[in-house]
Structure 1
């Protein structure tokens, strides 16, 4: 019985610091975007960039087709960070696509509909591998 009482008091006291933590009120989630972030020159220029910079790995030409989806963050100044494979097709294609996209120029940042100022946004783009 004494052990249960001690355990109960320990659990209650260990929960107090968790409840006392302050919420970060500076974070703001934007749900409505006036203009999404975009590659300079639009979709056509993005496709040209991908065609020029993404190369099939040696064995990839044998049978691999599909799209690798790469996610990244576009900051208010247009810089790009936090690249990650969202959906891949093979390790070599995934790495090739990510390395190529890391060479992209600054993007035109997204803007909010209410303030029309640049915001940070997470984007996911496809990189197609076809024969």
Structure 2
């Protein structure tokens, strides 16, 4: 069976879209998002869908100088929505005299088809979101350990190796993060790619060092 991902996007309110316009090739902003979305691994595996609202501001050159998630799902979908909006920086046209302190808010609506998600209930999704948040806390503890490994006590690393095993963070997983980072490089998203490469490094691995040296100086 062919697996398809369908991602739909809700665009601006009429008031905002009348002021600023997205200009990148022949497509509109929804097309841009659809083309560049890399559906995050955890949310895809757990059939997490929904809407993430992102607020951003544009300067006179159409570049984004401030952006944040104003209403999220509290999973990796939040990070992807923010990444996509930042990736659109420089592709906006603003009129002369535009108030650059104006915040543009875009609801980004993530939907999956073809991943056997049709039978998932809201309670299933809520449980998956709680699981994500619990895993994030453990991941952050691992990151903090390896960032400060020079201060670690003898034998302490064994505990964090066990946490990584519990989380399923093995070489295959780290390779998938590197591959995701390389996809982002192809999209011109060096910031997002470096976040993936640094994640690998902060898991105590040198697998992404060559990419960190090449792209993240």
After superposition, the CA RMSD in angstroms is: 2.6
Tell me whether 1:118 sits opposite 2:98 in the alignment. yes
Preserved CA contact (<8 Å) 1:37 1:74 = no
2:30 to 39, 47, 72: 47
Larger fraction in strand: 1
2:182 equivalent in structure 1: none
Tell me whether 1:81 sits opposite 2:71 in the alignment. no
2:111 equivalent in structure 1: 130
* Structure 1 spans left out of the alignment, 5+ residues: 1-31
Query: Which gives a bigger RCO, structure 1 or 2 (Cα 8 Å, sep 6+)?
Result: 1
Larger fraction in helix: 2
2:93 equivalent in structure 1: 108
Cα distance in 2, alignment partners of residues 67 and 126 from structure 1: 6
Cα distance in 1, alignment partners of residues 93 and 75 from structure 2: 30
Preserved CA contact (<8 Å) 2:55 2:69 = yes
Preserved CA contact (<8 Å) 1:67 1:128 = yes
Preserved CA contact (<8 Å) 2:50 2:110 = yes
Q: TM-score, normalised by structure 1?
A: 0.61
Matched residue SS, 2:61 = coil
Matched residue SS, 1:128 = strand
* Structure 2 spans left out of the alignment, 5+ residues: 1-14, 113-217
Cα distance in 1, alignment partners of residues 21 and 48 from structure 2: 28
Task: Tell me how far 1:128 sits from its aligned partner.
Answer: 1.5
1:47-83 Cα offsets, whole Å, 9 max, x none, are 1111112222112122211111110001122111111
Cα distance in 2, alignment partners of residues 50 and 63 from structure 1: 19
Tell me whether 1:93 sits opposite 2:77 in the alignment. yes
Cα distance in 2, alignment partners of residues 49 and 55 from structure 1: 12
1:93-131 Cα offsets, whole Å, 9 max, x none, are 10111112211142111x4xxxx6333121011222101
